[in-house]
């Protein structure tokens, strides 16, 4: 399996794909700072909370789409999958290696976002005392990563089936309609797109629409966190099995 991981990782060298791991978190934080300034008239450490909310809502899903789409494009432009499909290799392991590399890349981007939020917290002092410990930001980022992993095998598989821009529109639309709008409801667990947003509510004390929650809000119930994590991990493994089986049945065109 190590050889498959090394081979898939080498394909990303000297490509723009790796640069996205830095540029997208920076863009996320920059826009959060702008929203923070427009709301308060000055910069505060609250930008860290805003950036995590934006990250779960749009930037992480968009990062997944760009990574999977570009990863597919690299393979398509190289040999059109002919090398992989014609060589006597384990296609399931090859597919799982692709997912593992992309999962690792999204983890790097998430950790970099965490570093940026720490810098924000140190650089700007809020005029209001926060009721949320700052380490909740880092926990929320990691949980957002875990609960978004299932999108990687799905988007990687879809990238071979549909146009990139259609995939981008579908993913963004799903995260808005089935994510932000469903996260506050009692049936949030039925919509995988809503899980990252729902789980950050008790951690950041923010509504999925980024507004502060009242102290008696039912969205502050932290019992949803283990449920959401388990559901997301199960969905991730199910999609890995289904998509790897589909890739194993691929034929050289």
Residues 223-248 have a mean pLDDT of 94
Q: Is the pLDDT of residue 3 over 50?
A: yes
Domain boundaries, the chain: 2-248
- Which residue did the predictor score with more confidence, 41 or 206? 206
Q: Is the pLDDT of residue 252 over 60?
A: no
What pLDDT does residue 108 have? 96
Dihedral sign computed on CA atoms, order 3, 107, 200, 170: negative
Rg value, the chain, Cα = 19
Q: Count CB neighbours of 174 within 10 A.
A: 16
Structure tokens at 153: 């095998």
Q: Is the pLDDT of residue 156 over 90?
A: yes
230: three-class secondary structure by DSSP = helix
What pLDDT does residue 209 have? 84
What pLDDT does residue 76 have? 78
Q: Is the pLDDT of residue 253 over 70?
A: no
In the DSSP assignment, the letter for residue 206 is B
Q: Residue 188 — very low, low, confident or very high, per pLDDT cuts 50/70/90?
A: very high
207: Cβ–Cβ under 8 A, 6 or more apart, which residues?
184, 201, 213, 217, 219
Residues 90-104: tens digit of each pLDDT: 778 888 999 999 999
Q: Residue 89 — very low, low, confident or very high, per pLDDT cuts 50/70/90?
A: confident
Rounded distance, CA 94 to CA 100, Å? 10
Dihedral sign computed on CA atoms, order 88, 84, 15, 145: negative
Rounded distance, CA 103 to CA 146, Å? 9
User: In angstroms, how far apart are the furthest CA atoms of the chain?
Assistant: 63
The model's pTM is 0.90
Q: Residue 170 — very low, low, confident or very high, per pLDDT cuts 50/70/90?
A: very high
> Phi-psi category of 210—alpha, beta or left, where left has phi over 0 and alpha has psi -120 to 50?
left
Residue 150 near residue 192, CB atoms below 8 Å? yes
Residue 232 near residue 197, CB atoms below 8 Å? no
């Amino acid at each position: 399996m190590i050889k498959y991981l090394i081979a898939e990782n080498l394909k990303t060298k000297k490509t723009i794909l790796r640069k996205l791991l830095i540029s997208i978190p920076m863009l996320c934080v920059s826009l959060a700072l702008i929203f923070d300034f427009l709301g308060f008239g000055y910069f505060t450490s609250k930008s860290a909370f805003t950036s995590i909310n934006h990250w779960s809502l749009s930037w992480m899903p968009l990062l997944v789409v760009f990574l999977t789409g570009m990863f597919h494009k690299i393979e398509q432009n190289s040999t059109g999958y002919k090398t992989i499909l014609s060589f006597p290799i384990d296609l399931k392991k090859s597919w799982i290696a692709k997912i593992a590399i992309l999962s690792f890349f999204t983890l790097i981007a998430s950790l970099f976002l965490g570093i940026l939020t720490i810098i924000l917290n140190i650089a700007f002092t809020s005029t209001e005392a926060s009721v949320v410990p700052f380490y909740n930001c880092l926990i929320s980022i990691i949980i957002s990563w875990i609960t978004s992993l299932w999108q990687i095998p799905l988007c990687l598989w879809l990238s071979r089936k549909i146009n990139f821009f259609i995939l981008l529109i579908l993913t963004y639309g799903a995260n808005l309609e089935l994510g932000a709008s469903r996260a506050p409801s009692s049936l949030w667990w039925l919509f995988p797109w809503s899980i990252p947003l729902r789980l950050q509510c008790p951690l950041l004390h923010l509504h999925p629409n980024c507004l502060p929650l009242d102290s008696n809000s039912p969205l502050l119930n932290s019992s949803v966190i283990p449920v959401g994590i388990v559901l997301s991990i199960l969905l991730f493994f199910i999609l890995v099995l289904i998509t790897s089986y589909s890739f194993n049945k691929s034929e050289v065109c």
